[in-house]
Chains A and B, each alone.
Chain A
Protein backbone atom coordinates (compact mmCIF):
# COMPACT_ATOMS: atom_id res chain seq x y z
CA UNK A 1 0.00 0.00 0.00
CA UNK A 2 2.86 2.42 -0.51
CA UNK A 3 3.14 2.75 -4.24
CA UNK A 4 3.37 6.34 -5.56
CA UNK A 5 -0.15 6.00 -6.93
CA UNK A 6 -1.74 5.21 -3.55
CA UNK A 7 -2.75 8.80 -2.67
CA UNK A 8 -4.65 9.06 -5.95
CA UNK A 9 -6.92 6.07 -5.41
CA UNK A 10 -9.81 8.28 -4.20
CA UNK A 11 -9.50 10.28 -7.42
CA UNK A 12 -9.68 7.10 -9.47
CA UNK A 13 -12.78 6.01 -7.58
CA UNK A 14 -14.36 9.43 -8.16
CA UNK A 15 -13.54 9.17 -11.87
CA UNK A 16 -15.10 5.72 -12.09
CA UNK A 17 -18.14 6.93 -10.16
CA UNK A 18 -18.55 9.89 -12.53
CA UNK A 19 -18.17 7.56 -15.52
CA UNK A 20 -20.70 5.10 -14.11
CA UNK A 21 -23.26 7.80 -13.31
CA UNK A 22 -22.77 9.56 -16.65
CA UNK A 23 -22.99 6.37 -18.71
CA UNK A 24 -25.86 5.17 -16.53
CA UNK A 25 -27.90 8.30 -17.17
CA UNK A 26 -27.24 8.15 -20.91
CA UNK A 27 -28.05 4.42 -20.97
CA UNK A 28 -31.36 4.85 -19.13
CA UNK A 29 -32.30 7.82 -21.26
CA UNK A 30 -31.04 6.54 -24.59
CA UNK A 31 -31.59 2.78 -24.44
CA UNK A 32 -33.84 1.70 -21.57
CA UNK A 33 -36.60 4.32 -21.59
CA UNK A 34 -37.14 4.43 -25.39
CA UNK A 35 -38.24 0.80 -25.09
CA UNK A 36 -41.04 1.62 -22.64
CA UNK A 37 -41.94 5.25 -22.19
CA UNK A 38 -40.22 7.57 -24.60
CA UNK A 39 -41.85 8.57 -27.85
CA UNK A 40 -39.76 7.85 -30.93
CA UNK A 41 -41.07 9.40 -34.09
CA UNK A 42 -38.18 10.51 -36.27
CA UNK A 43 -39.09 12.36 -39.44
CA UNK A 44 -37.07 13.78 -42.27
CA UNK A 45 -37.67 17.38 -41.17
CA UNK A 46 -36.87 16.61 -37.54
CA UNK A 47 -33.55 15.01 -38.38
CA UNK A 48 -32.13 17.84 -40.46
CA UNK A 49 -29.94 20.38 -38.67
CA UNK A 50 -31.93 23.25 -37.22
CA UNK A 51 -31.66 26.44 -39.24
CA UNK A 52 -34.50 28.59 -37.92
CA UNK A 53 -37.12 26.57 -39.75
CA UNK A 54 -35.99 27.32 -43.28
CA UNK A 55 -34.70 24.63 -45.68
CA UNK A 56 -31.01 23.79 -45.33
CA UNK A 57 -28.81 26.43 -46.92
CA UNK A 58 -25.80 24.23 -47.49
CA UNK A 59 -25.37 20.61 -46.63
CA UNK A 60 -22.61 20.16 -44.11
CA UNK A 61 -21.70 22.74 -41.51
CA UNK A 62 -18.08 21.61 -41.49
CA UNK A 63 -16.77 24.29 -43.76
CA UNK A 64 -13.99 26.82 -43.57
CA UNK A 65 -14.29 29.31 -40.75
CA UNK A 66 -12.42 32.44 -39.70
CA UNK A 67 -8.67 31.99 -39.48
CA UNK A 68 -8.76 34.35 -36.46
CA UNK A 69 -9.65 31.40 -34.24
CA UNK A 70 -6.50 29.63 -35.34
CA UNK A 71 -4.42 32.73 -34.65
CA UNK A 72 -5.87 33.06 -31.15
CA UNK A 73 -5.07 29.43 -30.42
CA UNK A 74 -1.49 29.91 -31.63
CA UNK A 75 -0.95 33.05 -29.55
CA UNK A 76 -2.42 31.25 -26.56
CA UNK A 77 0.06 28.41 -26.88
CA UNK A 78 2.95 30.89 -27.05
CA UNK A 79 1.94 32.90 -23.99
CA UNK A 80 0.64 29.99 -21.97
CA UNK A 81 3.92 28.13 -22.29
CA UNK A 82 5.58 31.21 -20.78
CA UNK A 83 3.06 31.16 -17.96
CA UNK A 84 3.88 27.50 -17.43
CA UNK A 85 7.59 28.41 -17.23
CA UNK A 86 6.83 31.11 -14.65
CA UNK A 87 4.98 28.70 -12.39
CA UNK A 88 7.90 26.72 -10.90
CA UNK A 89 9.81 29.96 -10.52
CA UNK A 90 6.91 31.57 -8.66
CA UNK A 91 6.59 28.72 -6.17
CA UNK A 92 10.32 28.89 -5.36
CA UNK A 93 10.69 32.68 -5.42
CA UNK A 94 10.16 33.18 -1.68
CA UNK A 95 13.30 31.24 -0.80
CA UNK A 96 15.42 32.63 -3.62
CA UNK A 97 14.74 36.34 -4.02
CA UNK A 98 17.90 36.96 -6.06
CA UNK A 99 16.24 35.42 -9.12
CA UNK A 100 13.99 38.49 -9.40
CA UNK A 101 16.06 40.01 -12.22
CA UNK A 102 16.15 36.74 -14.13
CA UNK A 103 12.36 36.72 -14.10
CA UNK A 104 12.26 40.39 -15.17
CA UNK A 105 14.46 39.55 -18.16
CA UNK A 106 12.18 36.63 -19.02
CA UNK A 107 8.99 38.69 -18.74
CA UNK A 108 10.62 41.48 -20.77
CA UNK A 109 11.18 39.00 -23.60
CA UNK A 110 7.54 38.02 -23.31
CA UNK A 111 6.53 41.69 -23.38
CA UNK A 112 8.48 42.33 -26.58
CA UNK A 113 6.50 39.58 -28.26
CA UNK A 114 3.27 40.93 -26.80
CA UNK A 115 3.93 44.47 -28.07
CA UNK A 116 4.87 43.06 -31.49
CA UNK A 117 1.66 41.02 -31.71
CA UNK A 118 -0.39 44.02 -30.61
CA UNK A 119 1.35 46.30 -33.11
CA UNK A 120 0.83 43.82 -35.94
CA UNK A 121 -2.90 43.95 -35.23
CA UNK A 122 -3.21 40.28 -34.34
CA UNK A 123 -5.35 41.19 -31.36
CA UNK A 124 -7.90 43.14 -33.40
CA UNK A 125 -10.90 40.86 -33.72
CA UNK A 126 -12.91 43.00 -36.15
CA UNK A 127 -10.47 42.81 -39.06
Chain B
Protein backbone atom coordinates (compact mmCIF):
# COMPACT_ATOMS: atom_id res chain seq x y z
CA UNK B 1 0.00 0.00 0.00
CA UNK B 2 2.71 2.49 1.05
CA UNK B 3 5.02 1.64 -1.83
CA UNK B 4 2.20 1.86 -4.32
CA UNK B 5 1.06 5.25 -3.11
CA UNK B 6 4.64 6.53 -2.91
CA UNK B 7 5.08 5.52 -6.52
CA UNK B 8 2.23 7.85 -7.46
CA UNK B 9 3.35 10.61 -5.06
CA UNK B 10 0.11 10.42 -3.09
CA UNK B 11 -0.54 9.97 0.59
CA UNK B 12 -1.78 6.44 1.38
CA UNK B 13 -5.19 7.78 2.41
CA UNK B 14 -5.74 9.67 -0.83
CA UNK B 15 -4.51 6.72 -2.84
CA UNK B 16 -6.88 4.38 -1.05
CA UNK B 17 -9.78 6.79 -1.50
CA UNK B 18 -9.17 6.94 -5.26
CA UNK B 19 -8.99 3.13 -5.42
CA UNK B 20 -12.24 2.84 -3.48
CA UNK B 21 -14.07 5.35 -5.65
CA UNK B 22 -12.94 3.53 -8.78
CA UNK B 23 -13.96 0.16 -7.35
CA UNK B 24 -17.38 1.37 -6.17
CA UNK B 25 -18.03 3.17 -9.45
CA UNK B 26 -16.59 0.78 -12.01
CA UNK B 27 -17.27 -2.48 -10.18
CA UNK B 28 -21.09 -2.49 -10.32
CA UNK B 29 -20.96 -0.91 -13.79
CA UNK B 30 -18.76 -3.71 -15.12
CA UNK B 31 -20.83 -6.42 -13.50
CA UNK B 32 -24.00 -4.79 -14.85
CA UNK B 33 -22.59 -4.75 -18.38
CA UNK B 34 -21.61 -8.39 -18.03
CA UNK B 35 -25.05 -9.17 -16.67
CA UNK B 36 -26.72 -8.03 -19.89
CA UNK B 37 -24.70 -10.79 -21.53
CA UNK B 38 -25.35 -13.28 -18.72
CA UNK B 39 -29.06 -12.57 -18.99
CA UNK B 40 -29.16 -13.44 -22.67
CA UNK B 41 -26.83 -16.42 -22.54
CA UNK B 42 -28.47 -17.63 -19.32
CA UNK B 43 -31.96 -17.38 -20.75
CA UNK B 44 -30.75 -19.23 -23.83
CA UNK B 45 -29.31 -21.95 -21.63
CA UNK B 46 -32.53 -22.27 -19.62
CA UNK B 47 -34.69 -22.31 -22.76
CA UNK B 48 -32.34 -24.67 -24.62
CA UNK B 49 -31.31 -22.11 -27.23
CA UNK B 50 -27.86 -20.90 -28.25
CA UNK B 51 -28.24 -17.19 -27.53
CA UNK B 52 -26.13 -14.35 -28.96
CA UNK B 53 -22.96 -15.81 -30.48
CA UNK B 54 -22.41 -13.88 -33.71
CA UNK B 55 -20.72 -10.68 -32.56
CA UNK B 56 -16.99 -11.09 -32.97
CA UNK B 57 -13.78 -9.10 -32.58
CA UNK B 58 -11.41 -9.97 -35.48
CA UNK B 59 -13.20 -13.27 -35.92
CA UNK B 60 -13.01 -14.24 -32.24
CA UNK B 61 -16.50 -14.87 -30.96
CA UNK B 62 -15.55 -15.38 -27.29
CA UNK B 63 -18.89 -17.09 -26.47
CA UNK B 64 -20.80 -13.98 -27.45
CA UNK B 65 -19.05 -11.52 -25.12
CA UNK B 66 -18.41 -8.92 -27.88
CA UNK B 67 -22.18 -8.59 -27.98
CA UNK B 68 -21.91 -6.18 -25.04
CA UNK B 69 -19.69 -3.83 -27.03
CA UNK B 70 -21.81 -4.28 -30.16
CA UNK B 71 -24.95 -3.34 -28.26
CA UNK B 72 -23.24 -0.29 -26.79
CA UNK B 73 -22.02 0.95 -30.17
CA UNK B 74 -25.43 0.33 -31.68
CA UNK B 75 -27.13 2.29 -28.90
CA UNK B 76 -24.76 5.21 -29.52
CA UNK B 77 -25.48 5.26 -33.24
CA UNK B 78 -29.27 4.94 -33.15
CA UNK B 79 -31.43 7.92 -34.00
CA UNK B 80 -32.25 9.99 -30.95
CA UNK B 81 -35.98 10.64 -31.09
CA UNK B 82 -37.81 12.88 -28.66
CA UNK B 83 -41.58 12.62 -29.12
CA UNK B 84 -43.23 15.86 -30.13
CA UNK B 85 -45.62 15.76 -27.18
CA UNK B 86 -42.95 14.95 -24.61
CA UNK B 87 -41.61 17.27 -21.97
CA UNK B 88 -38.14 17.72 -23.47
CA UNK B 89 -36.18 18.63 -20.34
CA UNK B 90 -37.61 15.86 -18.17
CA UNK B 91 -37.29 13.39 -21.04
CA UNK B 92 -33.52 13.98 -21.09
CA UNK B 93 -33.27 14.19 -17.31
CA UNK B 94 -34.90 10.82 -16.60
CA UNK B 95 -31.94 8.62 -17.66
CA UNK B 96 -29.72 10.71 -15.39
CA UNK B 97 -32.18 10.39 -12.51
CA UNK B 98 -32.11 6.63 -12.99
CA UNK B 99 -28.34 6.39 -13.32
CA UNK B 100 -27.14 8.45 -10.35
CA UNK B 101 -29.00 6.66 -7.50
CA UNK B 102 -28.00 3.35 -9.03
CA UNK B 103 -24.31 4.26 -8.94
CA UNK B 104 -24.47 5.72 -5.43
CA UNK B 105 -26.10 2.58 -4.01
CA UNK B 106 -22.83 0.80 -3.23
CA UNK B 107 -21.34 3.69 -1.25
CA UNK B 108 -21.57 2.26 2.27
CA UNK B 109 -21.54 -1.48 1.57
CA UNK B 110 -18.26 -3.10 2.68
CA UNK B 111 -16.84 -5.25 -0.10
CA UNK B 112 -14.07 -6.78 2.00
CA UNK B 113 -12.51 -7.03 5.43
CA UNK B 114 -10.73 -3.96 6.78
CA UNK B 115 -6.96 -4.44 6.85
CA UNK B 116 -3.92 -2.75 8.33
CA UNK B 117 -0.89 -1.63 6.46
CA UNK B 118 1.91 0.64 7.61
CA UNK B 119 0.08 1.60 10.79
CA UNK B 120 -3.12 2.66 9.03
CA UNK B 121 -6.44 0.82 8.99
CA UNK B 122 -8.01 0.69 5.56
CA UNK B 123 -11.72 0.05 5.30
CA UNK B 124 -13.14 -1.64 2.25
CA UNK B 125 -16.16 0.57 1.84
CA UNK B 126 -16.35 3.98 0.25
CA UNK B 127 -17.48 5.62 3.50
CA UNK B 128 -15.68 4.61 6.67
CA UNK B 129 -17.69 2.86 9.39
CA UNK B 130 -19.40 5.09 11.91
CA UNK B 131 -20.49 7.63 9.31
CA UNK B 132 -23.96 7.81 10.87
CA UNK B 133 -25.82 6.80 7.71
CA UNK B 134 -25.10 3.10 7.70
CA UNK B 135 -27.63 0.85 6.04
CA UNK B 136 -30.14 3.70 5.85
CA UNK B 137 -28.20 5.15 2.93
CA UNK B 138 -28.65 2.33 0.39
CA UNK B 139 -32.31 2.03 1.38
CA UNK B 140 -32.91 5.76 0.94
CA UNK B 141 -31.00 5.98 -2.32
CA UNK B 142 -32.70 2.82 -3.56
CA UNK B 143 -36.05 4.47 -2.98
CA UNK B 144 -34.89 7.36 -5.17
CA UNK B 145 -34.84 5.00 -8.14
CA UNK B 146 -38.57 5.44 -8.48
CA UNK B 147 -38.05 9.05 -9.59
CA UNK B 148 -36.19 7.95 -12.70
CA UNK B 149 -39.04 5.64 -13.65
CA UNK B 150 -41.76 8.18 -12.83
CA UNK B 151 -40.09 11.09 -14.61
CA UNK B 152 -39.43 8.91 -17.67
CA UNK B 153 -43.08 7.84 -17.69
CA UNK B 154 -44.53 11.30 -17.15
CA UNK B 155 -42.33 13.13 -19.63
CA UNK B 156 -42.99 10.61 -22.44
CA UNK B 157 -46.66 11.58 -22.50
CA UNK B 158 -47.57 8.11 -23.72
CA UNK B 159 -50.41 6.09 -22.25
CA UNK B 160 -48.34 2.95 -21.88
CA UNK B 161 -45.60 4.91 -20.18
CA UNK B 162 -47.93 6.53 -17.69
CA UNK B 163 -49.49 3.17 -16.82
CA UNK B 164 -46.06 1.67 -16.31
CA UNK B 165 -44.87 4.58 -14.23
CA UNK B 166 -47.91 4.55 -11.96
CA UNK B 167 -47.57 0.81 -11.47
CA UNK B 168 -43.88 1.10 -10.69
CA UNK B 169 -44.42 3.82 -8.11
CA UNK B 170 -47.23 1.93 -6.34
CA UNK B 171 -45.38 -1.39 -6.29
CA UNK B 172 -42.07 0.03 -5.10
CA UNK B 173 -43.87 1.88 -2.35
CA UNK B 174 -45.89 -1.16 -1.26
CA UNK B 175 -42.90 -3.44 -0.92
CA UNK B 176 -40.66 -0.91 0.73
CA UNK B 177 -42.73 -1.23 3.87
CA UNK B 178 -42.24 -4.97 4.33
CA UNK B 179 -38.62 -4.56 3.31
CA UNK B 180 -37.86 -1.93 5.93
CA UNK B 181 -39.59 -3.96 8.67
CA UNK B 182 -37.48 -7.00 7.73
CA UNK B 183 -34.32 -4.90 7.85
CA UNK B 184 -35.29 -3.26 11.15
CA UNK B 185 -35.45 -6.73 12.72
CA UNK B 186 -31.81 -7.21 11.73
CA UNK B 187 -30.85 -3.83 13.18
CA UNK B 188 -32.56 -4.89 16.39
CA UNK B 189 -30.75 -8.23 16.86
CA UNK B 190 -27.41 -6.67 15.91
CA UNK B 191 -28.03 -3.50 17.94
CA UNK B 192 -26.53 -1.46 15.12
CA UNK B 193 -27.27 -0.27 11.63
CA UNK B 194 -23.80 0.24 10.25
CA UNK B 195 -23.02 -2.47 7.67
CA UNK B 196 -19.60 -3.08 9.24
CA UNK B 197 -21.26 -3.79 12.59
CA UNK B 198 -23.92 -5.92 10.94
CA UNK B 199 -21.25 -8.10 9.35
CA UNK B 200 -19.38 -8.19 12.66
CA UNK B 201 -22.56 -9.46 14.31
CA UNK B 202 -22.85 -12.25 11.75
CA UNK B 203 -19.68 -13.92 13.02
CA UNK B 204 -20.33 -17.65 13.38
CA UNK B 205 -23.94 -17.54 12.21
CA UNK B 206 -25.21 -15.69 9.17
CA UNK B 207 -28.45 -13.77 9.56
CA UNK B 208 -30.20 -15.96 7.03
CA UNK B 209 -30.62 -18.69 9.68
CA UNK B 210 -32.31 -16.76 12.53
CA UNK B 211 -33.95 -14.29 10.13
CA UNK B 212 -35.10 -16.80 7.56
CA UNK B 213 -38.63 -15.36 7.42
CA UNK B 214 -37.22 -11.86 7.08
CA UNK B 215 -34.90 -13.07 4.35
CA UNK B 216 -37.81 -14.46 2.33
CA UNK B 217 -39.65 -11.15 2.65
CA UNK B 218 -36.59 -9.07 1.79
CA UNK B 219 -35.65 -11.30 -1.13
CA UNK B 220 -39.16 -11.08 -2.58
CA UNK B 221 -39.26 -7.32 -2.13
CA UNK B 222 -35.96 -6.95 -3.95
CA UNK B 223 -37.57 -8.30 -7.11
CA UNK B 224 -40.29 -5.68 -6.89
CA UNK B 225 -37.78 -2.95 -6.05
CA UNK B 226 -35.57 -3.73 -9.03
CA UNK B 227 -38.55 -4.16 -11.38
CA UNK B 228 -37.56 -7.70 -12.25
CA UNK B 229 -39.73 -10.57 -13.29
CA UNK B 230 -41.96 -11.95 -11.74
CA UNK B 231 -42.81 -8.35 -10.74
CA UNK B 232 -41.76 -6.33 -13.79
CA UNK B 233 -45.08 -4.53 -14.15
CA UNK B 234 -43.44 -1.24 -15.00
CA UNK B 235 -42.45 -2.60 -18.40
CA UNK B 236 -44.41 -5.86 -18.73
CA UNK B 237 -44.12 -6.16 -22.47
CA UNK B 238 -47.06 -8.51 -22.95
CA UNK B 239 -49.38 -6.02 -21.26
CA UNK B 240 -48.19 -2.47 -21.77
CA UNK B 241 -45.69 -2.63 -24.69
CA UNK B 242 -42.57 -1.51 -22.81
CA UNK B 243 -44.11 0.49 -19.99
CA UNK B 244 -42.17 3.58 -19.01
CA UNK B 245 -39.50 2.83 -21.64
CA UNK B 246 -41.88 2.82 -24.63
CA UNK B 247 -40.69 6.14 -26.07
CA UNK B 248 -37.03 5.70 -25.20
CA UNK B 249 -34.37 4.78 -27.67
CA UNK B 250 -30.68 5.15 -28.34
CA UNK B 251 -28.36 5.83 -25.40
CA UNK B 252 -31.13 7.25 -23.23
CA UNK B 253 -32.69 3.79 -23.22
CA UNK B 254 -29.32 2.12 -22.70
CA UNK B 255 -28.57 4.31 -19.68
CA UNK B 256 -31.87 3.40 -17.99
CA UNK B 257 -31.38 -0.23 -18.93
CA UNK B 258 -27.87 -0.21 -17.49
CA UNK B 259 -28.99 1.42 -14.26
CA UNK B 260 -31.59 -1.30 -13.80
CA UNK B 261 -28.80 -3.84 -13.90
CA UNK B 262 -26.70 -1.77 -11.50
CA UNK B 263 -29.69 -1.80 -9.16
CA UNK B 264 -29.71 -5.56 -9.48
CA UNK B 265 -26.04 -5.72 -8.46
CA UNK B 266 -26.67 -3.41 -5.51
CA UNK B 267 -29.69 -5.48 -4.48
CA UNK B 268 -27.55 -8.62 -4.53
CA UNK B 269 -24.88 -6.86 -2.49
CA UNK B 270 -27.54 -5.78 0.03
CA UNK B 271 -28.85 -9.33 0.36
CA UNK B 272 -25.32 -10.60 0.90
CA UNK B 273 -24.48 -7.91 3.46
CA UNK B 274 -27.68 -8.25 5.45
CA UNK B 275 -28.27 -12.00 5.34
CA UNK B 276 -25.21 -13.86 4.08
CA UNK B 277 -22.40 -12.44 6.19
CA UNK B 278 -21.04 -9.94 3.68
CA UNK B 279 -17.39 -10.74 3.08
CA UNK B 280 -17.28 -13.56 5.65
CA UNK B 281 -15.97 -16.96 4.65
CA UNK B 282 -17.37 -20.05 6.41
CA UNK B 283 -15.00 -21.53 9.02
CA UNK B 284 -12.42 -18.77 8.52
CA UNK B 285 -12.36 -16.15 11.28
CA UNK B 286 -10.19 -13.58 9.49
CA UNK B 287 -10.12 -14.18 5.76
CA UNK B 288 -7.92 -11.15 5.09
CA UNK B 289 -8.37 -8.60 2.31
CA UNK B 290 -8.04 -10.77 -0.79
CA UNK B 291 -10.08 -13.76 0.30
CA UNK B 292 -12.80 -11.55 1.79
CA UNK B 293 -13.20 -9.55 -1.43
CA UNK B 294 -13.33 -12.78 -3.42
CA UNK B 295 -15.95 -14.16 -1.04
CA UNK B 296 -18.10 -11.02 -1.27
CA UNK B 297 -17.81 -10.98 -5.05
CA UNK B 298 -18.68 -14.67 -5.34
CA UNK B 299 -21.77 -14.30 -3.16
CA UNK B 300 -22.92 -11.16 -4.97
CA UNK B 301 -22.46 -12.73 -8.39
CA UNK B 302 -24.36 -15.78 -7.22
CA UNK B 303 -27.35 -13.64 -6.26
CA UNK B 304 -27.12 -11.74 -9.55
CA UNK B 305 -27.42 -15.12 -11.22
CA UNK B 306 -30.39 -16.00 -8.99
CA UNK B 307 -32.14 -12.85 -10.25
CA UNK B 308 -31.57 -13.96 -13.85
CA UNK B 309 -32.50 -17.54 -13.02
CA UNK B 310 -35.80 -16.52 -11.42
CA UNK B 311 -36.65 -14.26 -14.35
CA UNK B 312 -36.54 -17.12 -16.83
CA UNK B 313 -38.19 -19.65 -14.55
CA UNK B 314 -41.15 -17.95 -12.86
CA UNK B 315 -44.05 -16.50 -14.88
CA UNK B 316 -45.19 -12.92 -14.33
CA UNK B 317 -47.73 -12.25 -11.60
CA UNK B 318 -50.88 -10.25 -12.17
CA UNK B 319 -50.72 -6.71 -10.84
CA UNK B 320 -53.49 -7.13 -8.26
CA UNK B 321 -51.77 -10.31 -7.06
CA UNK B 322 -48.60 -8.36 -6.34
CA UNK B 323 -50.44 -5.64 -4.44
CA UNK B 324 -52.37 -8.27 -2.48
CA UNK B 325 -49.17 -10.12 -1.68
CA UNK B 326 -47.34 -6.98 -0.65
CA UNK B 327 -49.99 -5.72 1.76
CA UNK B 328 -51.65 -8.92 2.97
CA UNK B 329 -48.83 -11.47 3.04
CA UNK B 330 -45.42 -9.82 3.14
CA UNK B 331 -46.34 -7.07 5.60
CA UNK B 332 -47.82 -9.45 8.25
CA UNK B 333 -44.91 -11.86 7.72
CA UNK B 334 -42.28 -9.20 8.26
CA UNK B 335 -44.19 -7.93 11.30
CA UNK B 336 -44.31 -11.46 12.74
CA UNK B 337 -40.58 -11.83 12.09
CA UNK B 338 -39.94 -8.52 13.84
CA UNK B 339 -42.12 -9.27 16.87
CA UNK B 340 -40.72 -12.80 17.16
CA UNK B 341 -37.15 -11.53 17.43
CA UNK B 342 -38.13 -8.75 19.80
CA UNK B 343 -39.87 -11.26 22.05
CA UNK B 344 -36.92 -13.66 21.89
CA UNK B 345 -34.49 -10.93 22.94
CA UNK B 346 -36.86 -9.82 25.70
CA UNK B 347 -37.17 -13.35 27.13
CA UNK B 348 -33.45 -14.03 27.01
CA UNK B 349 -32.88 -10.82 28.92
Contact = CB atoms under 8 A, between A and B. Distances in A.
Interface of A: 7-11, 13-15, 17-19, 21-23, 25-26, 28-30, 33-34, 37-42, 46-52, 57, 59-62, 65-66, 68-69, 72-73, 75-76, 79-80, 83-84, 86-87, 90-95, 97, 100, 103-104, 107, 111, 114, 118, 123-126
Contact of B328 (A86, A103, A118): A118
Given A72-B173, A83-B184, A125 B319 contact: yes
A72 B185 contact: no
B79 interface: yes
Given A21-B99, A51-B160, 11 more contacts: A10-B17, A13-B21, A18-B25, A26-B251, A48-B85, A73-B170, A83-B177, A86-B184, A90-B185, A125-B319, A125-B324
17 contacts: A14-B107, A14-B126, A17-B103, A18-B100, A18-B104, A37-B77, A38-B250, A42-B81, A47-B81, A47-B84, A49-B83, A49-B159, A50-B246, A62-B162, A73-B169, A87-B184, A123-B323
Contacts of A13: 17, 21
Contact of A94 (B17, B131, B173, B345): B345
Contacts of A10: 17, 20-21, 107, 126-127
Contact of B323 (A7, A38, A72, A103): A72
Contacts of A19: 96, 100
B24 A29 contact: no
B79 A39 contact: yes
Nearest to A79: B177
Contact of A48 (B21, B82, B84, B162): B84
Nearest to A28: B76
Contacts of B156: 49, 61
Given A14-B21, A80-B180, A100-B342, A49 B104 contact: no
A50 to B, nearest CB: 5
Contacts of A38: 77-80, 250
Interface stretch (B53-61, B186-194, B206-214): B186-194
A42 B79 CA distance: 9
Contact of A17 (B25, B189, B192): B25
A91 B133 CA distance: 13
Interface string B5-25: 000000000000100110011
Contacts of B339: 104, 107
A83 B181 contact: yes
Contact of A123 (B77, B81, B177, B328): B328
Given A7-B128, A26-B251, A38-B78, A60 B85 contact: yes
A113 B252 CA distance: 43
Nearest to B324: A125
Instruction: Name A's interface SS.
Output: helix
B166 interface: yes
B191 A22 contact: no
B232 interface: no
Interface string B128-171: 10010000100000000000000000101111111100100110
B247 interface: yes
Contacts of A73: 169-170, 173
Contacts of A62: 154, 157, 162
Given A18-B100, A87-B187, A25 B81 contact: no
A82 B100 CA distance: 28
Contacts of B162: 61-62, 65
Contacts of A111: 335
B126 A91 contact: no
